[in-house]
A and B are shown apart, each in its own frame.
Chain A
Amino acid sequence: MFSIGELFDWLTDPENWTGRYGLANLFVEHLTLTLVSLAIAGLLAIPIGIAIGQSGRGETLVIAISSASRAIPTMGLMFALVMLMGVEFRQFAVVLALVGIAIPPILAGAYSGIKSIPIVIREGARAQGMTTLQQIRHVGLPLSAPSMVGGFKIAYLQVVSTVVLAPLVGLGGLGFGVIQGLALRDFAQLTGSALVIVLLSITGERLLARAQRTSHRRLTHSKIGR
């Protein structure tokens, strides 16, 4: 009933790439929703994670947030927020839900990055007369960068796959082709859209993994803090 040839035909048909619900537009919407949510989550979670890791206060909060986040039904949260805020503000509601699922891994990455810096190094930085801000800037951030990027990597994968649900509440994104294809039993559209989502996930994950390796290599091959 469905062959790889049909999938190829569907993906290479320019008609499926253009227009309001064409792949190009849906791809941009998908990526925008993902990146905006990750940026907001990062702005919130990184400073908090650093502060908690540096001060050692509020550690139970990190554990509570990251374990509670596993129990949140994402789709339910998205629907509830859209209904609560009204459909006019569905973009904000969906971004809020996505920020909610992106915060825990980023927070955990920032916190554990700082926390895992050996006490000798942290005390050494303090003994040199560095202020707290200097300690964070010259010691904390570079040393915890791999862990922070790792947090973003997990958050990216979760968010990029959750955006697939956005068409259920009237937003775009690549999930459109999955939901429409399923309802119309158009398996070429369904698998074609799913394939683009998979490629987007893998590409992003690979890029972040490379950034993580680079930041790690920089640590082991150069002088930090100078």
Chain B
Amino acid sequence: MTKPIKKSIKSAIALSAVAVLGLAGCAESNSEPLVIGSQAYYSNEIVAEVYAQVLENAGYSVDRQFALGQRDVYVPALLAGEIDLFPEYTGNLLQHFDPAATATAEEDVYQALQAALPAGLTALALSGASDQDSYNVTSDFAMKNNLTSIADLAGVSGIRLGGAPELAERPYGPMGLMSFYGVTVEFEATGDTTVESLEAGLIDMANVYSADPRIQQLGLVTLTDPQGLFLSSNLVPIASDAVNQEARDLINAVSSAMTAADLVALNVRSVEEQLSSAVIARDWLLSKGLID
């Protein structure tokens, strides 16, 4: 009984050795696969998957390194050349490299980011889609106080603002509301339950990412920001020197095709239909005619 088993183990080892050698041979003859990274954020992962599929469709081999956590974790890997392509957000990334940056408008932020990026990394074409901090109120609260813009809050007293703990100290937090709009708020650290707290009436205004599907689902009113309190944060692909011009053109085509509404729609499909990012990315690319 034992002999045949031993034999089969031996042949399995031999087979896998051959397979490993064969794969190694492949890697040598072709160019290295492009490593595409993403944050541990479902929306970011969908965009990374879009990049991956458009490149694969053009014959590139890609290595998906998704859900890499937050900037503190993956930026060092980007700098070390371990990741070649990463979907990022202009404002937040600029703040990472240059915490003292003052630009808030879309184009200014993009230019400041290009200047702030370390050598070896390039910001490709800016996308019209953005995913940035925004202040939201319930439609009831907006109606009752006649609100459309953050500036309208100046006449309302006792506003409770909810958000992540760090919002208390961010330039666009309570201090920024005061200096930009003369609005006084009481800060509540609602953490990951911010939207739920807004719904439950524990807070009056919530800091929610603008591409969050729940803004649409719950009919929240996003207050406009005429004074540019918030840093614009448009979707922007960050590429290493390993990404060649042809690949860059493919990714730039994706960026110019993706609108703000598209990004929200992708997020809605993920949250409501619970589809995988591969399916969502493929459907979107097909609908835009970017892959066949």
- Tell me which of B72, B162, B192, B200 contacts A86 (CB under 8 A): B200
A183 lies within 8 A of B192 (CB): no
Flag whether A21 is at the interface (Cβ < 8 A).
yes
Contact: B189 with A21, CB < 8 Å? yes
A161-180 with Cβ < 8 A to chain B: 167-170, 172, 176, 179-180
What's the least CB distance linking A200 to chain B, in Å?
19
Interchain CB contact under 8 A, A82 and B193: yes
Q: What are the residues of chain A within 8 A of B196 when measuring CB–CB? A: 83, 86-87
Complex: A125 Cα to B183 Cα, angstroms: 73
| Main SS class of interface, A | helix
CB distance from A168 to the nearest CB of B (A): 5
Interface string of B164-197 (1 = CB under 8 A from A): 1110111000000000000000011111111011
Number of interface residues of A (CB under 8 A): 21
Are B168 and A21 closer than 8 Å at their CB atoms? Answer: yes
A88 with B165: CB separation less than 8 A:
no
Tell me if A170 and B188 are in contact (CB < 8 A): yes
| Chain B residues whose C-beta falls within 8 Å of the C-beta of A180 in the assembled complex | 165-166, 168-169, 189
Q: Does A20 contact B (CB under 8 A)?
A: yes
Q: Are B166 and A170 in contact (CB under 8 A)?
A: no
Asked if A170 meets B200 with Cβ closer than 8 Å, knowing A176-B165, A179-B165, A180-B169, the reply is no
B202 sits at the interface (CB 8 A): yes
* Cα distance, A179 to B202, chains bound together (Å): 21
What is the bound-complex CA distance between A86 and B168, given in angstroms? 24
In contact, A170 and B187 (Cβ under 8 angstroms): no
Interchain CB contact (< 8 A) of B192 among A79, A176, A184? A79
A86–B199 Cα distance when bound, in Å, is 10
Q: Which residues of A contact B (CB under 8 A)?
A: 20-21, 79, 82-83, 86-88, 90, 167-170, 172, 176, 179-180, 183-186
Q: Known contacts A82-B193, A168-B192, A170-B197; can you find 18 more A-B pairs with CB under 8 A?
A: A21-B165, A21-B168, A87-B190, A167-B165, A170-B188, A170-B191, A170-B193, A170-B202, A172-B189, A176-B165, A176-B189, A179-B165, A180-B169, A180-B189, A183-B165, A184-B166, A184-B170, A185-B72
